[in-house]
Amino acid sequence: MGYALMVRALATLLVAGTSGAAQVPVETLLVEETPVHPAAYGFVYYSTLTPVDVALRDGSRAELWMFDGAAGECVAIVGSSDAFAVQLLLREATPFGRLIAHDDSRTESGDARLRLELPHTGRYFVTVTSVGAGEALGAYTLDLDRC
């Protein structure tokens, strides 16, 4: 089944810092034949890993998010879920480009956290998946912000 430009109702965003925050659909774009959600600083995204999401080699499912960043800019990315142990992977330039950083929720807080200065100006991709091999599904949040 091929992916086309579509709106995905499961992925929603919450405008950070507003009372009565609104949820709106987030687009899903096709980047190098991979479905990717555009993301922006200052938002918390609510979504769900499902059996139709990107299948990784280890049998797990993943959603990919992309954002544009500037060299030297400090970014803070947090992934949380009550349904599965979250793993975050940050790659540059393409959905499965060079790995810049990764973290998983094997921490005390249960959140996967990335905090780093970006090495160059350009496009970055965050992969949200579960820790370990095999399919773990469920709701999660992704918080993208500057440090």
Q: Given phi > 0 = left and psi -120 to 50 = alpha, else beta, which region is 108? A: alpha
Contact between 65 and 39 (Cβ < 8 Å): yes
**Structure token pair of residue 26:** 């987030």
pTM of the full structure? 0.85
Domains of the chain and any CATH numbers: 6-146 (2.60.120.380)
Q: Tokens 């921490």 correspond to what residue?
A: 107
Q: What is the pLDDT along the chain (147 residues), one digit of tens a residue?
A: 333 333 333 344 443 433 445 567 788 999 999 999 999 999 999 999 999 999 999 999 999 999 999 999 999 999 999 999 999 999 999 999 999 999 986 666 668 999 999 999 999 999 999 998 899 999 999 999 999
